[in-house]
Amino acid sequence: MTDTFVRLVPLPAKVEGVTLPNDDGSFDIYINARLSPARQQETLEHELRHIRHEHFYLDMPIDRMERQADGEALNVVLHPPAGMIPCFDSEEALARWLSALCTQLGIDLSAL
């Protein structure tokens, strides 16, 4: 995993945590020092999921990133072809997209 530096700092009441990417590829995570220790741990885990899911490099709606960092399973292609970052709200949506892509590429899905 990438270098990650965690700091407890007083933040506004509505801000539980924030993560900032650095130019060297590391990340600074700031956790609100006013939170309970249990909530600080939950917030840290949430922020680490943002890093693991590469949210700093995706063109994806913030609400989806937050849902994914909260633990919701979303079907997201992390390394799609240049210029394309499809996001899927369900397995059915992913299946439809794959079917359409295979049709465009002339791939017979029944052979897979």
* Per-position DSSP letters for 22-71, written without gaps between them: -TTS-EEEEEETTS-HHHHHHHHHHHHHHHHTTGGG----HHHHHHHHTT
Rounded-to-integer distance, Cα 33 and Cα 51, Å = 21
Dump pLDDT digits (tens) for 30-60: 999 999 999 999 999 999 988 888 888 776 7
Q: Which amino acid is at 38?
A: A
Which residue range is the domain that position 33 belongs to?
Answer: 1-59
Mean pLDDT of 66-86: 67
Average pLDDT, the chain: 80
Q: Does residue 64 sit within a domain? A: no
Question: What is the token pair recorded at 44?
Answer: 């840290």
Do residues 48 and 88 share a domain? Answer: no
Do residues 79 and 55 share a domain? Answer: no
Mean pLDDT of 75-86: 55
Number of domains the chain contains = 2
Q: Does residue 67 sit within a domain? A: no
pTM (2 d.p.): 0.63
Q: Does residue 69 sit within a domain? A: no
Tally of CB atoms within 10 A around 27 = 20
Do residues 55 and 78 share a domain? Answer: no
Do residues 49 and 97 share a domain? Answer: no
Do residues 53 and 89 share a domain? Answer: no
Q: Does residue 68 sit within a domain? A: no
Residue 80 has pLDDT above 60, yes or no: no
Residue 82 has pLDDT above 80, yes or no: no
Look at strands 4-9 and 27-32 and give their pairing: parallel
Residue 8 has pLDDT above 90, yes or no: yes
Residue 25 has pLDDT above 70, yes or no: yes
Q: Does residue 109 sit within a domain? A: yes
Do residues 7 and 53 share a domain? Answer: yes
